[in-house]
Structure 1
Amino acid sequence: MSRPASSRQNSPPVITLYDIPGHTPQPWAPNIWRIRFILNYKRLRYRTIWVEFPDVEETLRGLSAPPSSTRSDGRPVYTLPVIVDPTRNPMRPEIFANTNHIAEYLEAAYPARPVFPDGSRAVQALFVHYIQEVFAKPLLPIMVPLSHQQLQLRGHGARVPQQMAPALSGPQREQAWQAVKEQFDFLARILDKNSGDGDGTVTMGREVSYADFALCSVLIWIERMAAHDGWTRVRTWNNGRWLRLWERCREYMDEY
């Protein structure tokens, strides 16, 4: 966590990661965890600045951060994570938005301890796209309402994300978890093809990579948003594969 300004005056500059707080002190957002994993894995010095949801766009515009995407009508979309890196040029710090763009920047700027082993960048990009666009889709009806409950929204006039939906209950919730399990089962069958390489736990066979961090970020999301209803299920699925992956990535779960 950040220290008083007076104690940092003579300290070397560090990377700043902008994250969104919840009602608990632990980081939870999966896209932001992907970047935190990389920073920890590469052993880079960084600090976290917490930005409440209603303040995200104003804060990022104040930083002159680029939008993370653009709407169909051309309007910019400002979301977290964002990093500010003054370590190479304190007078003109690098500012990046969009999780994948940040990951590519960190890999290029800090190539030691790579998260994209040689020749794996395209395959990992496809894997991460699959995690985002296919694998995680059945989780959204369960996890999005829980995540919205975590957002620190000041006052009744604060804007909430457009995807706001009521939490599932009863049979609907069980059906949703069954759809989630089908995705986990399919991915487990694919990853089992690595069983002859290393211990078969990680995507690239032996060493953790960006793909594992993308997947483990989803596991952390479940563990922190749905510990009793979700993580207790997921950790036992596929002979404990997902708990083993979580444990494999645990040493890179520091929170600064």
Structure 2
Amino acid sequence: MITNELRMSSQPIITLYDTPAHSPQPWAPNIWRVRFILNYKRLPYRTVWVEFPDVESTLRSISASPSIVRSDGRAVYTLPVIVDPMRSPVRPMVISNVNTIVEHLETTYPARPLFPEGSRAVQSLFVHHIQEVLAKPLLPILVPLSHQRLPERSQSHFRGRSQAAAPQTPTHLAPGPQLEQQWRAVKQQFDFLAGILDKNAGSDGDGIVTMGHEVTYADFALCSVLIWIEQVAPHDGWARVRQWNGGRWSRLWERCKEYMDVY
């Protein structure tokens, strides 16, 4: 396997802006999608860790575009963001929004493609399902747990914002019937997805990865959610999920493991 140090000697270094937990260990699924791609394409990169209170000022300082502009005209800055000096170290490209970053990396660095010919629409639909359907029942469980893993300064930042805007913020689901009900809702989504992927089993593929044989962007998007579960709920969440559907999700994790390096 080519090390990041060797790759750095011959290529410009991309900067990936990420946000830490108590220790600088990646956990955010949208940012993991980008990290997977950088590792898969063997692109040299470095991580800059930015706590949530510093995201807007940091991104403004590098002239990053806001993720959205609200109806009141306020710009909202979120991660991930990359800085790619490929075209010019003096005027590098600063790219915001995970989908825009994915398109940039796939177009600019076509070697080791993530989208086999003719699969871009299907994979985009699959990733949309992961974001908008599969992940939704996870939010009441993982968002409060993610908050608890943040550095105290970032926790205070969100507490201050929630108290000013919406006092009824989600709270941690304690062990009990409500938590179990929520996990059952999560399992229903994973069961549905397993049934879809089973259609690849046999001559068409191994039934583990989305496109049948080789890992693609859709697998990285799904594995990014698995990493989120493992990072913020290792004993309760990942211990459950890894056993569901005959251990399918643990096997997918293993298929993606070689692209989980952090630089």
Question: Considering the TM-score relative to the shorter chain, is it more than 0.5?
Answer: yes
Task: Output the CA distance in 2 between the equivalents of 1:156 and 1:12.
Answer: 37
User: Which of 177, 189, 192 lines up with 2:195 in the alignment?
Assistant: 189
Structure 1 contact 198–205 (Cα < 8 Å) conserved: yes
Question: Identity percentage over the alignment?
Answer: 71
Over residues 145-191 of structure 1, what are the superposed CA-to-partner deviations in whole Å (9 max), with x where a residue is unaligned? 01111222428863446584210012111111010000000000011
Q: Does 2:188 correspond to 1:166?
A: no
Partner of 2:20: 21
- Cα pair distance change 1:136/1:90, threshold 3 Å: same
Q: CA deviation at 1:12?
A: 5.6
Give the count of matched residue pairs: 250
Structure 1 segments (4+ residues) deviating >6 Å: none
Q: Does 2:70 correspond to 1:63?
A: no
Q: CA deviation at 1:73?
A: 3.0
Normalised by the length of structure 1, the TM-score is 0.92
Structure 1 contact 53–152 (Cα < 8 Å) conserved: no
> SS state of the match for residue 154, structure 1?
helix
Task: Output the CA distance in 1 between the equivalents of 2:80 and 2:124.
Answer: 18
Range 228-237 or range 23-32, more displaced? 23-32
Give the partner amino acid of 1:239.
G
- Gaps in structure 2 of 5+ consecutive residues: none
User: Which of 191, 212, 218 lines up with 1:211 in the alignment?
Assistant: 218
> SS state of the match for residue 48, structure 1?
strand
> SS state of the match for residue 157, structure 2?
coil
Over residues 216-251 of structure 1, what are the superposed CA-to-partner deviations in whole Å (9 max), with x where a residue is unaligned? 000000011100000000000000000000000000
User: Which of 219, 223, 231 lines up with 1:224 in the alignment?
Assistant: 231
Which residues in structure 2 correspond to 1:122-133 (within 5 Å)? 122-133=121-132
**Aligned-pair Cα RMSD in Å:** 2.1
Structure 2 contact 41–109 (Cα < 8 Å) conserved: yes
Task: Output the CA distance in 2 between the equivalents of 1:30 and 1:202.
Answer: 18
Task: Output the CA distance in 1 between the equivalents of 2:181 and 2:41.
Answer: 40
Over residues 91-142 of structure 1, what are the superposed CA-to-partner deviations in whole Å (9 max), with x where a residue is unaligned? 2101111111100000000000011111111111111111001110000000
Structure 1 contact 54–153 (Cα < 8 Å) conserved: no
User: Which of 178, 197, 201 lines up with 2:184 in the alignment?
Assistant: 178
Q: CA deviation at 1:198?
A: 2.4
Which residues in structure 2 correspond to 1:69-218 (within 5 Å)? 69-154=68-153, 158-160=157-159, 162=162, 164-169=169-174, 170-196=176-202, 197-218=204-225
Q: Does 2:232 correspond to 1:233?
A: no
Task: Output the CA distance in 1 between the equivalents of 2:60 and 2:79.
Answer: 12
Give the partner amino acid of 1:90.
P
Task: Output the CA distance in 2 between the equivalents of 1:27 and 1:181.
Answer: 24
Range 98-107 or range 86-95, more displaced? 86-95
Give the partner amino acid of 1:71.
R
Normalised by the length of structure 2, the TM-score is 0.90
